[in-house]
């Protein structure tokens, strides 16, 4: 089965020679291969649902941290008002 990946040189989706899944330094899943038309290297990102879940978890952590920071500020400013 030939994977169709967009080729920059051909400016269109072309058949791919030796397609293989690779993981980039950032942890993104990619499909890499060679263009059958011009033999140049090309790759495309593969989206994963697992990754989205991790993103949501990270968001929650940020929210918690923000709340903590606000509370601290309030305590400091209220004690300033008392004096």
- Closer by beta carbon to Zn ion, 15 or else 29: 15
- Closer by beta carbon to Zn ion, 11 or else 26: 11
How many Å separate Cα 32 from the centre of its chain?
17
Asked if residue 15 lies in contact with residue 9, where contact means CB atoms within 8 angstroms, the answer is no
Q: Which of 5, 7, 16, 34 binds Zn ion (CB under 5 A)?
A: 7
Q: Which of 22, 28, 38, 45 binds Zn ion (CB under 5 A)?
A: 38
Number of shown-chain residues binding Zn ion (CB under 5 A): 6
Distances (CA, A) of 63 to 53, 54, 81: 16, 15, 28
């Amino acid at each position: 089965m030939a994977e169709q990946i967009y080729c920059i040189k051909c400016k269109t989706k072309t058949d791919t020679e030796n397609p293989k899944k690779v993981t980039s330094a950032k942890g993104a899943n990619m499909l890499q291969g060679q263009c059958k038309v011009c033999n140049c290297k090309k790759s495309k990102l593969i989206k994963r649902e697992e990754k989205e879940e991790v993103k949501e978890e990270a968001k929650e952590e940020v929210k918690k941290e923000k709340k903590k920071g606000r509370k601290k500020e309030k305590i400091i400013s209220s004690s300033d008002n008392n004096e």
